[in-house]
A and B are shown apart, each in its own frame.
Chain A
Amino acid sequence: MHTAGIRAVFSLARSGFRLDVDLQLPGLGVTALFGHSGSGKTTVLRCVAGLERAPDGFLSVNDEVWQDDAQGVFMPTYQRPLGYVFQEASLFAHLCVRKNLEYGQKRVPPASRKVAFEQALELLGIESLLTRRPESLSGGERQRVGIARALLTSPKLLLLDEPLAALDQKRKNEILPYLERLHDELAIPILYVSHSLDEVAQLADYLVLLEHGQVVASGPLQETLARLDLPGAFVNDAGVVLKTVVAAHEIADALTRLDFSGGSIYVASRTEPLGRSVRCRVHARDVSLTLQQPSATSILNLVPATVVDVADTETPAHVLVNLDAGGTPLLARITRRSRNQLGITSGLAVWAQIKAVALLG
């Protein structure tokens, strides 16, 4: 049963709650476990860490078996090469920041240390905090120290349990860039639990949607968000993520051009340098469709696309259209009447008009 990537099979019955998951996840990049509270996402993470034990479970991480109850294998948490960041940083109150950071590092044999102390400090921007006590740190600082502390154990898997949930928006914005850097600069697979679609859209490569302890959908981020068969709770906020690159700053009009596989979009002038990767969220309700390329329209962002599929929504007046724009999935929420009048069916070539784009980060 050895497999590359992460394979996790857990079932667990608690009073009023049943977890039943069978996951095959990529062994690299950020996988988001997304769901509302009570969906079981944190329980999955705790099972992966060995903090909870699902009977008859199985877990392998990149060819290492951490739990296989059929073979009587259950590695206790402290023997698993993982890093865990709790919702509240859970720093040790009796130790200063430096001692907190060293706690995990010195328990890893020197030969296995892959993340240098200075590298972790620099990555999380905590060089100036070393002599501070945890109680004197802000929530955001604490969380950054918690992440650095986990990284210093040179984990083969990093588990983040809603690391931003306890922070206000300002602190979130302070930490998100550091999380993006983890993603870009370290080759450590990350499991990221969140109930914020914005965080997921910004960070994740792979998405697992959980509801009532069951996996509703699982797959690459962009494709999964564009699926039409997700349950209502997810469809209400339906939208896709565009992975774009800053292509030009058109200073005369105060616009920035972002290129993606399906074309280009313009947003109000940005400060990111050319070539920087930027993710955007496009809500289905902000996308409308035309059959011909409109010549006189105030909408700047027009993308040619092909209709893949059409599905009903929870409101009888609307349908959801899944489009393919040069390999990038898009969703459009249009009225049933428009669908009928334009004769929109799969295979049809259309123009998607994007009225609003939310840049992430």
Chain B
Amino acid sequence: MTNLADLNTVDLSAIKLTLELASLTTGLLLVIGTPIAWWLAHTQSRLKGMVGAVVALPLVLPPTVLGFYMLVVMGPQGPVGHLTQALGLGLLPFTFPGLLLASVLYTMPFVVQPVQNAFEAIGERPMEAAATLRAGPWDTFFTVVVPLARPGFLTAAILGFAHTVGEFGIVLMIGGNIPGKTRVVSVQIYDHVEAMEYTQAHWLAGGMVVFAFLVLFALYTFNNSVNRARG
């Protein structure tokens, strides 16, 4: 290994793209995933099991399976493909928005489940107490539920971000390998290895290892300190 200058502009744009994709995916998932987690935590509906299972599917399916179906659905003959074409948006596969959509679906369980667990751990009582103290439902949500569920939201954000950074299979299938558009770090490493550019592969892969370690280290340290404080 020599120095950082070995990372060329393509590598840097892959890092930038990866961070963009991970940030957007995490942000979108916190917005979309919170109501889903709330519904799963509080519903008495018989659909709960089914919805929970669908959300959890990416945990067990190989990314190629999900990627394959998404290609079909978003492709020129698929229903989503028809829709996006009719709206003048073109086709989603091999574009950044398509990649973002795939990431959101594929990372969903990593965000929904910690938030759902946090909501379930809070229970009804703090919300009832807030209601008897004149707080309406939205007021209660933002002043009682969100602060009490903060560790869950933090875990969800970290896991969501980290999992998106670590994606490979689904990126390749939906995003392809277009520099500056869909070529993220994991794909770039693959390219370097294929081209026998081990030095650059080392820099990127090593960076990923350090990044993943730091994220998990922060997560475990934080969760432990929260648990101790709650004692």
Contacts and interface: CB of A to CB of B under 8 A. Distances in A.
Interface of A: 49-51, 76-79, 82-84, 86, 88, 90-94, 103-104, 107-108, 135, 149-150, 153, 159
B144 A104 contact: no
Could you say which of B132, B137, B147 has the most chain A C-beta atoms within 10 Å of its C-beta? B132
Contacts of A83: 132
A49 B132 contact: yes
Given A51-B128, A135-B231, A92 B135 contact: no
Interface string B91-135: 000000000000000000000000000000000011011111111
Given A90-B125, A92-B144, A149 B131 contact: no
B126 to A, nearest CB: 6
A86 B129 contact: yes
B79 interface: no
A103 B126 contact: no
A103 B137 CA distance: 14
A107 B133 contact: yes
A108 B134 contact: yes
A83 B131 CA distance: 10
A87 to B, nearest CB: 10
Nearest to B231: A135
A90 B129 contact: yes
A267 to B, nearest CB: 40
B163 to A, nearest CB: 28
Contacts of A92: 126, 129-130, 144, 148
B133 A104 contact: yes
B132 A82 contact: yes
Contact of A51 (B131, B150, B231): B131
B125 A93 contact: no
A150 B132 contact: yes
A108 B135 CA distance: 10
Contacts of A79: 134
Contacts of A91: 129
B230 interface: yes
A31 B123 CA distance: 30
Given A103-B133, A108-B134, A153-B134, A77 B231 contact: no
A90 B123 CA distance: 11
19 contacts: A76-B131, A78-B130, A78-B136, A79-B134, A84-B128, A84-B132, A86-B128, A88-B125, A90-B129, A92-B148, A93-B126, A94-B144, A103-B143, A104-B132, A107-B133, A107-B134, A135-B231, A153-B132, A153-B134
List the 7 closest A-B pairs by CB distance, nearest first: A104-B133, A84-B132, A107-B134, A77-B131, A94-B147, A90-B129, A78-B131
A94 B129 contact: no
A105 to B, nearest CB: 9
Given A90-B129, A93-B148, A94-B147, A107 B231 contact: no
Contact of A86 (B125, B135, B140, B147): B125
A98 to B, nearest CB: 14
Contacts of B150: 94
Could you say which of B125, B129, B139, B147 has the most chain A C-beta atoms within 10 Å of its C-beta? B129
A269 B135 CA distance: 50
Given A51-B132, A90-B128, A107-B139, 10 more contacts: A76-B131, A82-B132, A84-B132, A86-B125, A88-B125, A90-B129, A92-B130, A103-B130, A103-B135, A107-B133
A78 B125 contact: no
Interface in B137-162: 137, 139-140, 143-144, 147-148, 150
B119 to A, nearest CB: 15
A77 B128 contact: yes
Nearest to A88: B125
Contacts of A82: 132
Nearest to B136: A78
B129 A78 contact: no
Nearest to A150: B132
Nearest to B131: A77
Contact of A90 (B126, B135, B139, B143): B126
B43 to A, nearest CB: 18
Contacts of A153: 132-134
Contacts of A88: 125
Could you say which of A50, A92, A153 has the most chain B C-beta atoms within 10 Å of its C-beta? A92
